Chain A
Amino acid sequence: MRDVAIVGMGTTKFKSRWVDKTYYELAFDAAKMALEDAGLEKDRIDCAVYGIYNDFFQRQYQPDAFVHDYLGLGLKPMVRVNSGGATGGAALRIGYAEVASGLYDVCLVLGVEKCADTYNYEMKMSTPEVLRAILYTADMTYDNPAGRTAASGFALAVVAHRDKFGNPTEEQMAKVSVKNHFNATKNPLAQSPKVLTVEEVMNSRMIVEPFKFYDNCLYTEGSSAVILASREVAERITDKPVWISGLGASADYVMPGNRPNIYTFESSRLAARKAYAMAGVKDPLQDLDLAELHDAFTGTEIMAYEDCFFCEEGQGGSLIDDGTVMPDGQLPVNLSGGLIGCGHAVGATGIMQTYEVALHLRGEAGRRQKKGARRGLVQSIGGTLCTWTVCLVLER
C-alpha cells in the first residue's frame, strides 16, 4: 500500500440551516475551499468519494450524481457512501483505499448534508420531521413502528453501561456538555458555542432518559472536504501534508439480539485497535496529542473514551472528572466542540472531525490550537447502537 496524505481541506460553517444553499451548492463551497487550500485545479482530481447520509434530508435519491455534476467532475469515477453517523469516516476510508491501492493519485472526499428543509408544519419546526426521516433507517418491519429515535438507541446503551459500571453519571455527562459547548466558543465554524454550567445542563428538559436537552447534539447543515493524495503527489504540491497513518473500521450486528451485550460498542473497540496497530500507537493516552470523538450524545463520548482505550473498560467517567480530556488535559477531546458544540451535519461530520485534527497538526487552529500537536485520532460512528465505526490516526 502507498502512503496517503491530506493535501487540501475546506469546510463550510456548520449551521442549523443554510436556507440560501442547496446541498450541491454547499458541497461546491467546501470543494472550492479544499482545492484552493491544495493549490490544485479541479481537473487534477482523479476520483471522488461522497459522504451523504439521508436522501429524505436532501429531498433527492442518488444526490451524489448531482454533486458530481455541479463540481464539474463529469467522467471521473465516483462513489457515494452512506453509513449513518459514520458516513464521513466511511467516505474517508474508501478515499484512502482509492489512493493507497495505487488506482488513483488524487481523490476528493466530500461530505455534505442538509436536514432542515424537512419541516413539521403543525409544530413550526424541523426537528420532529428530521427524526421521522431518520426513523426510516430503523428496521421498517420490526423497529420503525416503535417510534424510537437515534437518541433512544444510544440512551439504551448508556443506561446499560451505567447499570453495569455505575457511570456515566448525569453529572459526568453534563461536564462533557459544558466542555464541548465551551470548546465551540473558540471555533468560528461552530453551530453551538455556549458557556454553560453543569447545573444548566442537568436542569435542561429531558429528551430521552438519561439524555437531557444539552446532552444531545443538534442537527446541522454543512459540507466538509479533504483532498487525499499519494506520497509522490503530496510531496510535490504541499509542504504541510497530514498523513493518514492508521485506519480501522468495523460494522457490528445492527440487531442487538445478535450481540453479547449493548453496554459496550465492540465495533468501536475493533476499529480503534486496528487503527492503533497500523499507526504504531501503543498507549493512546501517551501517543496521541488530541482526539475528535463522535459525541452525538455526552454519554457516548464517555463510552468512546473506553472504546478508544484511553482507560480501562468501565472507567470512562473518570476521564472527564480528572480533566484528562479537557483542553488543557493530557488528551484533549473535541477541541472543535465536537458534534455537540460544532454540530452534526451527518455526511460531513467525520470529515469535519478530520479537518479539525489536521488543522491542529498544521498548527493553524488559532485560539484552540493544541501546542505542538503531532498525532491525533478521529472516531466516526453511526447506526443503531453504533453499527459502524471508522477510526483514523493522523500525523504530520
Chain B
Amino acid sequence: MDKQQREAWYLYHQQKYGIPVEYLRREYERELAGQNPMDAPLEIPDKMEVFYKYSYGQQSRFFRELRENQAVYGAKCPQCSKVYCPPRAHCSQCYKPTEWVKLKGTGIIKACTVQHYTTSAFIKKVPFICAYVQLDGTDFLLMTNMEVEDVSKIGVGTRVKAAFRENRHGTITDFYFKPLE
C-alpha cells in the first residue's frame, strides 16, 4: 500500500472502531508498508458490539425507585421471609411471588478485597475496593466497588450507607456505598 492508501486505512479504522491513529500506526505500519512476508500471520482490528433496549422485566420498579426516588428496595418472600437485594420477583426456594420492601440503604461489608489490577473498562480506577455488602433488612449480598482515599480503612465489618449520584440513569450504579461515619 502506498502512503495515501495507508492514511486512508488508518482513518477508516479510527472512524469505525474509535482507535486513535497513533495506535493503529504503531501496530500496523510495518504490515501496511509490506514488510511482512506473504505467509506471516495477518492481524486486523475488529470489535464485537450490539446495541440494546434492555428490559428489566419484573425488577423494573427497583431501578425506577433508584432513579426517581433515590430509594433502595428489596424483595421479600411472604412464605420464608427472606429479603433479596438484588431483588427477584419470586423466591427461588418457595416459588412464591415476592413483595417490595423499602430498605434504609445502610449495610455491612461481608467480604472484601482490593483491586490493584482489572479490566480495560476499570483499570484507571485502581486501587479500589471490591466487596459484597449485605444491606440492613436483607438476607442477601450485593456486589459493589468503592473508590475511597484509603483502601486499608475498609474491610469486613465496615458499616456502609448508600449515596446517590446527581445524574441517575436507572442502573445499579445510580448509587454507591460510602463508609458510615
Instruction: State the CA gap A205–B46 with chains docked (Å).
Output: 31
From B56, B134, B145, contact of A147 by CB (8 A): B145
Q: Counting CB contacts under 8 A, is B100 at the interface? A: no
A123 touching B115, Cβ below 8 Å: no
Residues of A in contact with B (beta carbons under 8 Å apart):
19-20, 56, 59, 120-124, 128-129, 131-132, 134-135, 138-139, 141-143, 145-149, 152, 155-157, 159-160, 163, 205-210, 255-258, 262
Contacts of B86 on A, CB cut-off 8 Å?
Answer: 139, 141-142, 255, 257
A121 touching B172, Cβ below 8 Å: no
A132 touching B113, Cβ below 8 Å: no
Instruction: State the CA gap A102–B173 with chains docked (Å).
Output: 51
A156 touching B115, Cβ below 8 Å: no
**Chain B CB within 10 A, most for which of A146, A148, A258:** A146
Closest chain-B Cβ to A148's Cβ sits at a distance in Å of: 5
B84 touching A152, Cβ below 8 Å: no
B119 touching A149, Cβ below 8 Å: yes
Q: List 23 A-B contacts (CB under 8 A).
A: A20-B41, A123-B120, A123-B123, A128-B120, A128-B123, A131-B118, A131-B120, A141-B86, A141-B172, A146-B144, A147-B121, A148-B130, A148-B145, A159-B113, A160-B111, A206-B116, A208-B130, A209-B116, A256-B111, A256-B132, A257-B84, A258-B92, A262-B132
Cβ < 8 Å to A, chain B residues 102-157: 111-123, 125, 128, 130-132, 134, 139-145, 156
Closest chain-B Cβ to A147's Cβ sits at a distance in Å of: 3
Instruction: State the CA gap A270–B171 with chains docked (Å).
Output: 36
A146 touching B143, Cβ below 8 Å: yes
Contacts of A129 on B, CB cut-off 8 Å?
Answer: 119-120
Q: Counting CB contacts under 8 A, is B181 at the interface? A: no
A207 touching B27, Cβ below 8 Å: no
B119 touching A147, Cβ below 8 Å: yes
Residues of B in contact with A (beta carbons under 8 Å apart):
19-20, 23-24, 26-27, 41, 43, 46, 48, 56, 59, 84, 86, 92, 111-123, 125, 128, 130-132, 134, 139-145, 156, 171-173
Q: A59-B48, A152-B130 are in contact. Are A147 and B140 (CB under 8 A)?
A: no
Closest chain-A Cβ to B50's Cβ sits at a distance in Å of: 10
From B26, B46, B113, B120, contact of A155 by CB (8 A): B113
From A122, A208, A258, contact of B113 by CB (8 A): A208
Instruction: State the CA gap A152–B56 with chains docked (Å).
Output: 26
Select from chain B the residue with minimum beta-carbon distance to A60.
Answer: B48
B119 touching A131, Cβ below 8 Å: yes
Select from chain B the residue with minimum beta-carbon distance to A147.
Answer: B122
A135 touching B119, Cβ below 8 Å: yes
Q: A121-B23, A208-B130 are in contact. Are A141 and B56 (CB under 8 A)?
A: yes
Q: A121-B19, A135-B119, A147-B122 are in contact. Are A19 and B113 (CB under 8 A)?
A: no
From A142, A145, A163, A209, contact of B156 by CB (8 A): A163
Contacts of B56 on A, CB cut-off 8 Å?
Answer: 141
Contacts of A160 on B, CB cut-off 8 Å?
Answer: 111, 156
Contacts of A132 on B, CB cut-off 8 Å?
Answer: 119-121
Select from chain A the residue with minimum beta-carbon distance to B23.
Answer: A121
Contacts of B118 on A, CB cut-off 8 Å?
Answer: 128, 131, 147-149, 152, 208
